[in-house]
């Protein structure tokens, strides 16, 4: 068993694309943890979608053996974390399992919004932080400027920062030495009762649930009877092992070590992230402080295009929820779309990833309704309901007031684009809280309604700043505002999937834009189709889609004009009848395009 003083547990944190996963590759490669022939780019990103998008979605763990320059053998447990704001929950969990962090900063880009958010999480978890400046092989690299930014903006000493190129491998040995010399060793007592933290869990079709644990005190051996302290469930341990990145079985895990166990657990739901695992007989009495469960912030409906695939969709969503603790769902029905699910996500990227995985891994075509957030609706009789779907809005005459969720957004942007960013935030009903400078970049802090951000705020921000702005947010609670439900009617039938909550001052503008967009997207039918936006019983915008006209008078050669008139009158009456019974088909693309509001 490795002595505590020779174990180092650390995570790698950074903004998106600053090179976390590439640095992890080099650390694995230079210590020969993986044979050269098995090495591939982004080794720890195992999902297809992670490799394709080039992002990390799940935090992944690997155990590395390293012999330091002083000849001592060390065991390093590395957790590679995601950089994207939607997966900040993965980051906060990983932080609690380790004692130190490598803060990776791109030496060409400098400090960005997510760098700040992730490093604050590390500071909250009492981590020792070693700054690493990556991409020094690029001509635009400027280490002095970035070191100054790290000291000014984050406030940590960057004098001992390590200059690295994760691509060429320069500076990797220095990084490994810094991990051994500057990061603290874990603490723990092997004779105390077992206390292990459940860091993550995933489902394996052959082994059942694989649980990632960090041992704080005590020993965990094969065959032990264990108990989950939150759920009270008891299991017998079948296998114990470590990830090198593939699973390797060992006999026992001691204090300070990170590894996995399997115990014939059937469902990931039985393993709550942050739970404390102890022995069934002589267990500990005091559980570890757990994590707050992830709160979904964005909700949307997922419906199969072919309603016969509903059962397949249920199966797919059940399986995805096994591996993703932060994804929630419940069944719902809609007049236009049939049976489906109302799902909760941590953000739009999370939504896209889940949707892509369902379409790709389970081959189900989906219709996604407009993303919405949870509103608190206070009724006149003093009760309060949580509104997930705008279509379920109660009668406005019974509602006293509505509160919407607000966020605190931090945007880092080069000076040249500051005006555009301020305008974008003002347009989205933002309230400016702070504006400071770090070198030539402005850091703007805004209080924004989440409703205005979930849809396409990020895309708009990237386009007005040519991709140079970075954005991060945290939830700030609820505030009352003048909100109304806007319904969209096509041929006088309400379309659930397009109803949305809007601010009263902007309802007319949104309604008009929506109707104009739908007019271009819905194909013409044989009868006239009115497209309307309404608040309650009041129509605020309307467009009319004209009918296709079949030439019924083609067979009349000459003769009396009244013959033609008679045929046209007959056609008119037919169209009127058709409009009463006609069914308007709205194509899938129309739903998605109609919801992307531009400027």
- 3-state SS, 541-572, equals EEEEECCCCCCCCCCCCCCCHHHHHHHHHHHH
DSSP 270-303: GS-TT-EEEESSS--SSPPP-PPPP---EEEEEE
Measured at the CA of 380, the angle between CA 379 and CA 383, to 5 degrees, comes to: 45
Tell me if 71 is assigned to a ligand binding site.
Answer: no
CA–chain centroid gap for 295, Å, is 11
Tell me if 423 is assigned to a ligand binding site.
Answer: no
* Token digits of residue 211: 């649980």
Residue 139 CB: number of other CB atoms within 10 A?
Answer: 5
Tell me if 134 is assigned to a ligand binding site.
Answer: yes
Tell me if 585 is assigned to a ligand binding site.
Answer: no
* Count of residues making up the chain: 599
Residue 262 CB: number of other CB atoms within 10 A?
Answer: 19
Residue 224: exposed, middle, or buried by beta-carbon count in 10 A (0-12, 13-18, 19+)? buried
Q: Which helix (H) or strand (E) segment is 243 a member of?
A: strand 239-244
Tell me if 137 is assigned to a ligand binding site.
Answer: yes
* Token digits of residue 378: 């206070």
Tell me if 17 is assigned to a ligand binding site.
Answer: yes
First to last CA, the chain: 61
CA–chain centroid gap for 94, Å, is 16
Which residues of 124-228 form beta strands (DSSP E)? 128-134, 162-163, 195-204, 208-217, 220-221, 225-228
Q: Which helix (H) or strand (E) segment is 88 a member of?
A: helix 88-97
Tell me if 40 is assigned to a ligand binding site.
Answer: no
Residue positions in the annotated binding site?
A: 17-22, 134-137
Residue positions in the annotated binding site for GTP?
A: 17-22, 134-137
């Amino acid at each position: 068993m490795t002595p505590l003083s020779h174990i180092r547990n650390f995570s790698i944190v950074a903004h998106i694309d600053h090179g976390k996963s590439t640095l992890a590759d080099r650390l694995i490669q230079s210590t020969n943890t993986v044979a050269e022939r098995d090495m591939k780019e982004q080794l720890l990103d195992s999902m297809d979608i992670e490799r394709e998008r080039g992002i990390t979605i799940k935090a992944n763990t690997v155990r590395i053996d390293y012999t330091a320059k002083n000849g001592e053998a060390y065991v390093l447990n590395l957790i590679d974390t995601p950089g994207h704001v939607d997966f900040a929950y993965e980051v906060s969990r990983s932080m609690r399992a380790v004692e130190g962090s490598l803060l990776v900063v791109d030496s060409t880009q400098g400090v960005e919004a997510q760098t700040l958010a992730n490093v604050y999480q590390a500071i909250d978890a009492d981590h020792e932080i070693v700054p690493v400046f990556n991409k020094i092989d690029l001509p635009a690299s400027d280490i002095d400027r970035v070191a100054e930014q790290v000291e000014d903006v984050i406030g940590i000493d960057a004098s001992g920062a390590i200059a690295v190129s994760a691509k060429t491998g320069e500076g990797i040995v220095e990084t490994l030495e810094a991990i051994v010399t500057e990061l603290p060793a874990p603490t723990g007592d092997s004779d105390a009762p077992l206390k292990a933290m459940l860091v993550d869990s995933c489902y394996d079709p052959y082994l059942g649930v694989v649980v990632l644990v960090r041992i704080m005190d005590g020993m965990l051996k094969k065959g032990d009877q264990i108990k989950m302290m939150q759920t009270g469930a008891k299991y017998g341990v079948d296998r114990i092992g470590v990830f090198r990145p593939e699973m390797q079985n060992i006999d026992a895990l001691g204090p300070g070590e990170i590894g996995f166990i399997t115990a014939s657990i059937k469902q990931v739901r039985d393993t709550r992230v942050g739970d404390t695992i102890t022995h069934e007989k002589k267990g500990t009495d005091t559980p570890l402080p757990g994590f707050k469960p992830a709160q979904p912030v964005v909700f949307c409906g997922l419906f199969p295009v072919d309603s016969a695939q509903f059962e397949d969709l249920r199966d797919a969503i059940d399986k995805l929820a096994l591996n993703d603790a932060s994804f929630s769902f419940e069944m719902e029905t809609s007049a236009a779309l049939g049976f489906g699910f109302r799902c909760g996500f941590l953000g739009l990227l999370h939504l896209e990833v889940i949707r892509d995985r369902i379409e790709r891994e389970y081959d189900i075509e989906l219709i996604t309704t407009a993303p919405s957030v949870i509103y608190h609706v206070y009724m006149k009789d003093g009760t309060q309901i949580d509104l997930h779907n705008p279509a379920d809005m109660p009668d406005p005459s019974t509602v006293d007031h509505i509160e919407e969720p607000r966020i605190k957004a931090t945007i880092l942007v080069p000076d040249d684009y500051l005006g555009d960013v301020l305008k974008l935030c003002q347009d989205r009903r933002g309230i400016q809280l702070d504006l400071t400078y770090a070198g030539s970049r402005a850091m703007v802090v805004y209080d924004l309604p989440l409703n205005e951000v979930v849809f396409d705020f990020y895309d708009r921000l990237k386009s007005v700043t040519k991709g140079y702005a970075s954005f991060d947010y945290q939830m700030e609670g609820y505030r009352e505002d003048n909100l109304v439900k806007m319904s969209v009617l096509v041929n006088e039938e309400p379309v659930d999937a397009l109803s949305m909550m809007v601010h009263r001052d902007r309802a007319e503008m949104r309604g008009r834009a929506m109707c104009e967009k739908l007019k271009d997207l819905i194909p013409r039918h044989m009868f006239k189709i009115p497209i309307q936006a309404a608040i309650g019983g009041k129509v605020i915008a309307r467009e009319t889609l004209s009918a296709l006209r079949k030439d019924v008078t083609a067979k009349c050669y000459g003769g009396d004009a009244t013959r033609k008139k008679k045929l046209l009158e007959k056609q008119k009456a037919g169209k009127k009848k058709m409009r009463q019974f006609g069914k308007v088909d709205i194509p899938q693309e129309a739903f998605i395009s109609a919801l992307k509001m531009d400027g």
